[in-house]
Amino acid sequence: MNQSVTFNVNGIKCGGCETTINKALQVLGGVVSVQASSQEKTVSVQFDTSLTSAEAIRDAIVTAGYPVQDHG
């Protein structure tokens, strides 16, 4: 089943940050779509709950160098 999650990531400053996060998440198994926004300071992700989890995605954002403030 697909689920959507939006993370607040204040460190997204520009298109380069968006690209870095998009690339880091697109290679994760189970990620269906990613949209990082420097305007909104958010990362919205659609993922397959049988393959990955919001926590794993959150960890991947942090590993890419962007602390995550919260998600809902």
Choose the binding region for Cu ion from 16-24, 25-33, 42-50, 51-59 (rule: CB under 5 A).
16-24
Secondary structure, 3-state, 37-48: ECCCCEEEEEEE
The reply on whether position 27 binds Cu ion by CB under 5 A is: no
Indicate which single residue of 16, 33, 49, 62 sits in contact with Cu ion (rule: CB under 5 A): 16
Contact 3, 49 (CB under 8 A): yes
* 33 contacts 45 by C-beta, under 8 angstroms: yes
Q: Is 23 in the site for Cu ion (CB under 5 A)?
A: no
Interface with Cu ion includes 13 (CB under 5 A)?
Answer: yes
Residues in contact with Cu ion by the rule CB under 5 A: 13-14, 16-17
